[in-house]
Amino acid sequence: MTGFESYRVRERAEIARMVLVGAFLVLVGAFFRTQVIQHDKFQLKAETNRLRPIPLTPPRGTILDRNGKVIAENVPGYSVKLLAQSTDSLRAVLERVRRFVPLDSAQIGDIIERYRQARYQPALVFGDASFDIIARLEEHRAALPGLVIQAEPKRLYPAGKSVAHLVGYVSEVTEADLTADRYPGAVLGSIVGKGGLERQYDDTLRGNEGIRYIEVNARGRLVREGAAAALPPTPGKSIVTTVDLDLQRFVDSIWPPKVRGALVAMTPTGEIRALYSAPTFDPNHFVGGISSAEWRKLNNDPAKPLLNRVIQARYPPASPFKLAIAAMALKRHLIRLGTQMPEPCRGGLRLGNRVFRCWKREGHGMLDLTGAVAASCDVYFYQLGLRLGLDAIIQDGVLMGFRDKSGIDLENELSPIYPSSTAYFDKLYGPRYWSPPGTTLNFSIGQGENTQTLINMMRFYQGLAGNGEAVTPFIVKPTSSRKRSLGMTQKELDGLRRSLIAVVERGTAAANRRADLAVAGKTGTAQNPHGEDHGWFIGFAPADKPELIVGGIMEFAEHGTTVAPYVVQTLRRYILGPEATGPVKLGVLQDEAAVGQAVIPRPVDVNLDSAAAQGAELDSLPEPVTQ
C-alpha cells in the first residue's frame, strides 16, 4: 500500500469516527433532553397513560323540613363501572356481566350510549347496585376485565311519593343539559337535580366532584386502585325549608286513590307548609338511573304523574274568583257589604235574548254581598260584574296578580291566562266576534278567558287571610319578600272574611262545619266539557285569626263540596294536632234548607274554558259564548 493510499484510509477512518462521535453526541443530547430537561413532561404523559381518573360523586346537601326532619338525605351506596377500549370490548364484557347479574338488552344499549358520550370515563353499568350484585361481580372479577366497583353516596327520600313534586328527583346530567348550560360546573357523569327543590337549589345542594386514580395496563385493564393521591369531593350545603313533613305525609295519606289534583297549605306570611300533587311517583326510583321502561310508563300515563298540578296546571278559578270580584267592587266603592242588587235571583239573569242561569234553578231571592258569597249566587255576581264593567275587572285583576306567576321558588311555573286589556279579545277572536257583556258575565263567576294555577289563587287568598298584602309564597326563606297590595281597607277585609265564614257556617260548605275550629272558605266548580267538572275549595283557620290557608283542586270532582273535607281535615291536623283528625267524611250532603247549599248542580249557559282548564296554551282557547 502506498503512502497516499494509507493516507486516504486514515482520512476515511477519521471521518467515520467523527460521524460516529457526532451521532453519539446527538443521541446523548436527545437522551439528556428526554431524561433530564423534559423529565417532568414525559413522566406526566406516562402517568396519564397508566393512570385513569375516576370522578367521585359529592354528597348532596340534606333537605330538611322546618322541624329538622329529613326530606332528602344521603346513604351509602355502590356504583359499578367498566373500563373499555372500544364499544366492541365494552359490549363483550357486558355480555359476560349478564351471566352473573340481571341485565337486559335495553340496559346494555343505554350503557353503551353513555359510554359513547364520554369515552374517557368508565362506563356506568349500575348507579345504585345492591350488595347482592356487588358480591356476585366481585366473585367473578377475574372474568370481568376493567371492572370498577366504587362506594359513593346515594340519594334517599324517606317520605317517598308523598314529597315527589315538592322535592323533585336527581339524575345524571345529559348532553342536552350541558349544551344548554342548565347546570353550571357540571360535567358528564355529574348527578344533578331534576324538578322540585332538587332543581331549584341544585347549585347549593350539588357540591364539587372529587377524583381518584386507578392504574391500568397497556390494554386498559385494571392493575390496582389508589395508584395516586386522590382529591376528595366537596359536599353540598344543606337547606332548611318551611315545609311541615308530618303535614305533607298526612295530606298524602288522606288523598283519595286515583284522583287527580293538588293541595297547598301556606301561612299568612307566605311560608309553604305542604305542597302536594296527585297522582304522584316515587323519586327514589330515579336514584342510580331510572330504567327506560319505567320512564316510558311515567311519560305515557294519561294521568301525567310527573306533572306538578300546583304550578303547572291551569283551571278556571270558578267561584273562588267571586271574592276577587267582590274585592274590586268594594275598593272602588261601588257596593258595601250589605248592598243588594236590583234584581233578585230567580234562577237566572236575562241578557238580550239569552238567559244566564244560576246554579240553583229556583233561585236565591234577594241577597246582600255576604249572603251571595255564602250561597255562591251567580245572579248576584252577574249584576256585580256588569256594575264593575269588563275594563275594571281586567285592570284590577292585573293589579291583584291574576296575570302573573306567583313567584314560588320552584322552576317551570306556568303563567296564568288573563287578558291585559279588551284588545286581547279583539286579537283573539276579532272585534265583531265576541260580546263584552257576555264576557263580563263569564268573568264575574270565574269562567271565560281566565285560568289560574292553584298556587296563584292561594296567593290571593293569603292576602285576604292576612293584612291585605299578597306575599310571594316560598319554600326556602328568601333574603327579601315581594308583596302586592289588594288595595283594601281592614274593614273591607274583615267583611269578606265574615262572608267566607258564612260559606262554612250556613252556605255551600256547611257540611264541613266543626264545633272545635272555625273555618272560612269558598267552594267552586270549574267547568270541564271533557268530563265531570273540577272542584275547588280554598279555606283558612282559625277564621278570626288565620294561622294556615289551605287550597285544593280535584279534577272531575263535580263540585267543591267534594274537596272541602280534605282541606278542612288538613287545617284541623295542623292547628289542633293529630288527635283532632280522623277519616275524611264524604258524601254527607244534607237538605239544602238545613245547610244552605250542600249540593251544587252544574251551572249552564256560561263559557267553557276547556282548553285552558287542561293547561293549554293561549292559541288553543275555545271561542267564547256570546250571550
Q: Say what angle helices 490-505 and 322-331 make with each other, to 10 degrees.
A: 150
In a domain, 515, yes or no: yes
Q: Are residues 372 and 225 in the same domain?
A: no
In a domain, 247, yes or no: no
In a domain, 307, yes or no: no
In a domain, 519, yes or no: yes
- pLDDT the model gives residue 611: 32
b/e 483-518 (16+ beta carbons within 10 angstroms → b): ebebbbeeebbebbbbbbbbbbbbbbbbbbbeeebe
Distance separating alpha carbons of residues 128 and 155, to the nearest angstrom: 10
Distance separating alpha carbons of residues 197 and 243, to the nearest angstrom: 11
- pLDDT the model gives residue 212: 81
78 φ, ψ (degrees, to nearest 5)? -135, 140
Residue 376 in contact with residue 523, Cβ under 8 Å? yes
Q: Are residues 108 and 28 in the same domain?
A: no
Question: 215, 240, 265 — which closes off a domain?
Answer: 240
Q: Are residues 236 and 331 in the same domain?
A: no
The contacts of residue 534 (CB under 8 Å, 6+ apart) are 261, 315, 316, 318, 525, 526, 527, 528, 553, 554, 555, 556, 557, 613
Q: What is the extent of the structural domain holding 24?
A: 3-37
- pLDDT the model gives residue 583: 64
Longest dimension (CA), the chain: 147
The percent of the chain in helix, strand and coil, each rounded to the nearest 5, is 40, 20, 40
Q: Are residues 463 and 578 in the same domain?
A: yes
Q: Are residues 160 and 24 in the same domain?
A: no
Question: Mapping DSSP to helix (H, G, I), strand (E, B) and coil, where does residue 595 land?
Answer: helix
Kind plus residue range of the DSSP H or E element containing 440:
helix 436-444
Question: Mapping DSSP to helix (H, G, I), strand (E, B) and coil, where does residue 576 land?
Answer: helix
Q: Are residues 118 and 70 in the same domain?
A: yes
Would strands 239-240 and 63-64 be described as parallel, antiparallel, or unpaired?
Answer: parallel
Q: Cell triple for residue 615?
A: 293547561
- pLDDT the model gives residue 622: 32
In a domain, 213, yes or no: yes
In a domain, 309, yes or no: no
Question: 185, 211, 240 — which closes off a domain?
Answer: 240
b/e 125-141 (16+ beta carbons within 10 angstroms → b): bbbbbeeebbeebeeee
Distance separating alpha carbons of residues 447 and 416, to the nearest angstrom: 13
CATH number reported for the structural domain that contains residue 220 in this entry: 3.90.1310.10
* Residue from 221, 261, 268, 254 nearest 82 by CA: 221
Q: Are residues 17 and 85 in the same domain?
A: no
Question: Mapping DSSP to helix (H, G, I), strand (E, B) and coil, where does residue 195 land?
Answer: coil
The contacts of residue 473 (CB under 8 Å, 6+ apart) are 266, 270, 271, 272, 406, 407, 408, 455, 458, 459, 462
State pTM to two decimals. Answer: 0.83
- pLDDT the model gives residue 4: 61
Question: 240, 255, 275 — which closes off a domain?
Answer: 240
Distance separating alpha carbons of residues 348 and 605, to the nearest angstrom: 10
Q: Are residues 117 and 15 in the same domain?
A: no
In a domain, 440, yes or no: yes
The number of distinct structural domains making up the chain is 3
Q: Are residues 365 and 225 in the same domain?
A: no
- pLDDT the model gives residue 7: 65
Q: Are residues 407 and 332 in the same domain?
A: yes
Residue 417 in contact with residue 447, Cβ under 8 Å? no
384 φ, ψ (degrees, to nearest 5)? -65, -40
- pLDDT the model gives residue 605: 32
- pLDDT the model gives residue 623: 31
Distance separating alpha carbons of residues 431 and 94, to the nearest angstrom: 66
Q: Are residues 30 and 97 in the same domain?
A: no
Low-confidence ranges of the chain (pLDDT < 70): 1-5, 7, 32-50, 216-229, 582-627
Q: How many residues would you count in the chain?
A: 627
In a domain, 257, yes or no: no
Q: Are residues 222 and 339 in the same domain?
A: no
148 φ, ψ (degrees, to nearest 5)? -125, 115
- pLDDT the model gives residue 41: 52
